[in-house]
Chains A and B, each alone.
Chain A
Amino acid sequence: MARPLLVLDRVEKRYDAGEISVVALREVNLAIFRGEYVAVMGASGSGKSTLMNILGCLDLPTRGRYVLAGTDVSGLDDTDLAAVRNRLIGFVFQSFNLIPRTNAQRNVELPMVYAGVKPRERSERARAALAAVGLSDRALHNPSELSGGQQQRVAVARAIVTDPAIVLADEPTGNLDTRSTGEMLDVFDGLHRSGRTIVLITHEADVAARASRVIRLSDGQIVSDELRAMRGAV
């Protein structure tokens, strides 16, 4: 088997709130391979948000190692973590999280701004990413002028524009109606088909059903990890 893209090795996360110490993740071992479409499921409080934060390098594990694309990120400082997020990770959040009063084109360009990409290339790549999610005609609209589904597609465009190693989606359909949810999941299917590695966190079974692998979390531990359907799509 090929080397995994991402490895969690006995990762533990605890939050200290005064006297009480809450364990959000305990002894989590996980390997995700390039091209996988993984759904992480679990009830609220199961630790899936914590897992997402650690996978996304927004937070560091209390104990254990996290190796992403060959880099051990467990010991990196703020600046290096920012660079890892910028180069290797694309985020899609439940509440879209676009920058207000900034049009779709500029929102998509933003990660490249921080990466130091030249304006000309930035704008070309942003246009291509918006085209990939079917929003070419909305490039100059501000988020407030877009529907929820459109905003989330802009967010996806922003997530993939830097060609990251992994796309992390945290309840991406949580704020969408049924139709937009369907469209969004189609977009993810398309990304999966084109070979992207996707980790999607959800509590909805029908959303998870689209994934090639489903991991269930409960009480900070992985309780099941099943491969679905064929991985032959890759």
Chain B
Amino acid sequence: MNLRENTRIALQGLASNRLRSALTMLGILIGVGAVIVLVAVGNGSSVAVQKQIEGLGTNTLVVFRTRGGFGGGGGFGGGRATNGTQSSVSQLTMKDVTALSDKTQAPDVKYIAPVISSSVTATYSGATYSPSQFVGTTSDYLSIRNYTVAEGTAFTADDVTSRNRVALLGQTVVTNLFGTQDPVGATVQFNGIDYHVIGVLTPKGSNGAQDQDDIVITPITAVQDTLAGANAALSNITIEAKSRGAMSAAADEVTTVLLGTHHITNPSNADFQVLNQATLLSTAGSTNHVFTVLLGAVAAISLLVGGIGVMNIMLVTVTERTREIGIRKAIGARRGDILGQFLVEAVLLSVMGGIIGVIAGLIVSRVKIVGVTPVVAPYSVALAFGVAIAVGLFFGLYPANRAAALRPIEALRHE
């Protein structure tokens, strides 16, 4: 008996119990749809995070100061006390920046920007706001962090040398201080000191951890003059490597140079850390992968439950049609014929549920879910559909086998 005949019989069987077939399919439908949607959500959040990290500047290295490697568990002060000379160099200073700017020592470094972050309160005609980031830096910082100026102009190297008190505001700061007013040309006070607003940054949105538009960028010299002090330590040094491939080389060069300026011979005692954006990206990627797999696994369980539904209904069907099975066997159906007939019926249930599930999953994936725009992973569609068929086969096998094993006389006697 061929597949076409079995399919015809199976369709007839399904059609004779429409509601029951539809409900059984619903189980598979939900399972398949859930796998597709949840994997798409996981995938979507992963794509979003990746974009945000790339928005930070993909080829970026950030040098942070860490406490010196000496003294182990001692506090900050303790570290200083035991290493008298260390205290003067355990900070990141402009000297480090100058050393890193040497192209012979650090050939893979493209841009380099010293950064002093402070916490300030901004006021403008009665409005008060504390931006989460207040950055004193050089103009290269804008290139490294992919900030562009939407309105007005960026500050220049001249502004830095001339120690001009100018500021670029992020969109969030503008909204909080100015509302709908145009801020360019206005004077804002940061901790009471006047700064001239010369530009507004193009909005970048959130990077997942913080709002990248909640920022004020000013020349580092101005910050040294007014808020931090002339010899203030740098919060970090932000560096852009020449290319993505040059990141590790650049990181190595930066480490070597800084070990030199800090007079440290053993790299494990380094009092600074070079953070690599690529490492961050892959860490975030693997976290997201775990998240996606977890979501997929939860959805797969519902697919399994759908499969049990198929098995349940097939067992009922086999019992209901025992007499029919007896007739078929009496007129010459072999074991395999009966097995095939019921297996096709089970698989048909799951395939039809699967197809509708794929369609439903694709439709639902177009909607934003808990702030994430789902990105459908083609593999999840193939996987969910494939698993649905496998589930139909697996859970259909037992009922079909039971039907095939019925003895004709007993089946014929069945009322």
* A binding-site residues for B, Cβ under 8 Å: 53, 56, 58-59, 78-79, 82-83, 85-87, 91, 93, 97-102, 110-111, 113-116, 158, 162
Indicate whether B331 reaches chain A with its CB closer than 8 angstroms. Answer: yes
Interface residues on B, range: 20 to 34
Q: Is the CB of A58 within 8 A of B12?
A: no
Nearest Cβ in chain A — how far from B14, in angstroms?
12
CA distance A78 to B331 in the complex (A): 13
Among B1, B16, B332, B334, the most chain A Cβ lie within 10 Å of the Cβ of B332
B334 to chain A: closest residue by CB: A82
Q: Is the CB of A91 within 8 A of B331?
A: yes
Nearest Cβ in chain B — how far from A9, in angstroms?
22
Nearest Cβ in chain B — how far from A96, in angstroms?
10
Interface residues of B in 387-410 (CB under 8 A from A): 408-409
B326-364 CB mask vs A (1 if < 8 Å, else 0) is: 111111111111000000000000000000000000000
**Set of chain B residues within 8 Å of A59, measured between Cβ atoms:** 409
**Set of chain B residues within 8 Å of A56, measured between Cβ atoms:** 330
Q: Is the CB of A114 within 8 A of B12?
A: no
Please judge, given known A-B contacts A99-B324, A100-B324, whether A58 and B332 are in contact too, CB under 8 Å. Answer: no
Indicate whether B196 reaches chain A with its CB closer than 8 angstroms. Answer: no
CA distance A98 to B328 in the complex (A): 9
Neighbour of A97 across the interface among B1, B5, B332, B412, CB < 8 A = B412
A102 to chain B: closest residue by CB: B12
B5 to chain A: closest residue by CB: A113
* B binding-site residues for A, Cβ under 8 Å: 1, 5, 12, 16, 323-324, 326-337, 408-409, 412
Listed from nearest, the 4 A-B pairs whose CB atoms lie closest are A86-B332, A114-B332, A82-B334, A111-B331
Q: Is the CB of B335 within 8 A of A82?
A: yes
**Set of chain A residues within 8 Å of B324, measured between Cβ atoms:** 99-100
**Set of chain B residues within 8 Å of A99, measured between Cβ atoms:** 324, 327-328
**Set of chain B residues within 8 Å of A158, measured between Cβ atoms:** 331
Nearest Cβ in chain A — how far from B118, in angstroms?
82
**Set of chain B residues within 8 Å of A86, measured between Cβ atoms:** 331-332
Neighbour of B332 across the interface among A93, A102, A115, CB < 8 A = A115
24 residue pairs bridging A and B, Cβ less than 8 Å apart: A53-B409, A58-B330, A58-B408, A78-B335, A82-B333, A82-B334, A85-B332, A86-B331, A86-B332, A91-B330, A93-B412, A97-B323, A97-B330, A98-B327, A99-B324, A99-B327, A99-B328, A100-B324, A101-B16, A114-B328, A114-B332, A114-B333, A116-B1, A162-B332
Q: A99-B327, A111-B331 are in contact. List 7 more A-B contacts (CB 8 A).
A: A79-B335, A82-B333, A85-B331, A101-B12, A102-B12, A110-B328, A114-B1
Nearest Cβ in chain B — how far from A111, in angstroms?
5
Nearest Cβ in chain B — how far from A77, in angstroms?
10
**Set of chain A residues within 8 Å of B5, measured between Cβ atoms:** 113
CA distance A100 to B324 in the complex (A): 8
CA distance A149 to B333 in the complex (A): 26
Q: Is the CB of B332 within 8 A of A87?
A: yes
CA distance A83 to B331 in the complex (A): 9
Among B327, B328, B336, B412, the most chain A Cβ lie within 10 Å of the Cβ of B327
Nearest Cβ in chain B — how far from A93, in angstroms?
7
Q: Is the CB of A85 within 8 A of B328?
A: no
**Set of chain B residues within 8 Å of A114, measured between Cβ atoms:** 1, 328, 331-334, 337
CA distance A78 to B330 in the complex (A): 11
CA distance A99 to B325 in the complex (A): 9
B337 to chain A: closest residue by CB: A114
CA distance A93 to B326 in the complex (A): 12
A114 to chain B: closest residue by CB: B332
